[in-house]
Amino acid sequence: PPIRWRGASLQQMSIKLYGVVISGNVNPIVALCVENGIPHELVATNPMAGETKTDEFRKLNPMHCIPTLDDGGFTMWESKAILRYIANKHSLEAWYPSDTKQRAICDLALDFHTNSFVPIVGSKIIYPAVGFGTATAEEVAEAEKKWKEDVWPAFQHLNQRLEGPFLGGSKPSIADLAFLGYLVMLFGKCPGSFAATTPGLKSYFDALKAALPKYNEYMGPAEGFWK
C-alpha cells in the first residue's frame, strides 16, 4: 500500500482506533482526540468476544489487544505509545511538552503507570473486582503495603515535579489521561479499596475531571458501565 502516513494530507485523515470505549487503556486516547478536536473513528472491537484474535486483526496487532491504531496504514498498539504518537503528530505541546526535562517527567509518569501503578491497583484491585483474574488476601495485603510505602508516595512525588495539581503541572498531560482511564474503574467499582480511600487520590481524580471540558462526552459510557 502507498506510504500515506508520510503524506501531508494525513493530518486531515481520520485515524482508526480499534477498541471499546469502556476500556481504561482505550479511553485515554479517545480523551486526547476529543479534547483536541482530532478526527478519529472508534472501530468497536471487543477482546472478550474474541474479536482481536482473528487472522485479520492479528495482522494489525500480533499481540491481539486493544487499543490498536491504524493511521492511514500505519499501525501500532500499546496505549501509551499511541498517546505519544498522536501528541507528536499534532504537536500537542500542552499534553506532551517538548522541553527535554518536562517530557522526561511525562515519560517517567507513563512508565510508572505501566510498571508500578497497574501491577498494584490494576492487577490486585480493579481486575479481580471486575472478574479479570483473582488476587489472594495475602497478595492484596502485600499490594496495600507497597501502595502505602512506595507507589502512592511516588505518585505524589511525580505530581509535584511540575508543581501540580496534575502530573502535567497546571494542566493535564497524556500521563494524567493514562491514570484517568484506571481511576474511573477504581472509584466506580472499588470505592472501598485501599487505593480509592487514599486521601488525595479522589481530589486528584475530581480535579482532573474538572480540567477536561469534554469529559462527559467521552467518559460518560465508561462512568456508566463501571458503576
Ligand X SMILES: N[C@@H](CCC(=O)N[C@@H](CS)C(=O)NCC(=O)O)C(=O)O
- Tell me which residues touch ligand X (CB under 6 A): 23, 25, 47, 52, 64-67, 77-80
Q: What is the 3-state secondary structure (H, E, C) of 38-72?
A: CCEEEEECCHHHCCCCCHHHHHHCCCCCCCEEEEC
Query: Considering beta carbons, is residue 153 or 224 the nearer one to ligand X?
Result: 224
Residue tagged 512506595 (cell numbers): 150
Query: Considering beta carbons, is residue 67 or 97 the nearer one to ligand X?
Result: 67
Which residue type occupies 150? D
Beta-strand relationship, 40-44 and 74-77: unpaired
Query: Considering beta carbons, is residue 47 or 128 the nearer one to ligand X?
Result: 47
| Residue 7: CB minimum distance to ligand X, A | 27
Q: What letter does residue 78 receive in the DSSP assignment?
A: -
Beta-strand relationship, 74-77 and 15-19: unpaired
Query: Considering beta carbons, is residue 76 or 207 the nearer one to ligand X?
Result: 76
| Residue 18: CB minimum distance to ligand X, A | 9
| Residue 45: CB minimum distance to ligand X, A | 8
Q: At what angle do helices 201-210 and 174-189 cross, to 10 degrees?
A: 120
| Residue 23: CB minimum distance to ligand X, A | 4
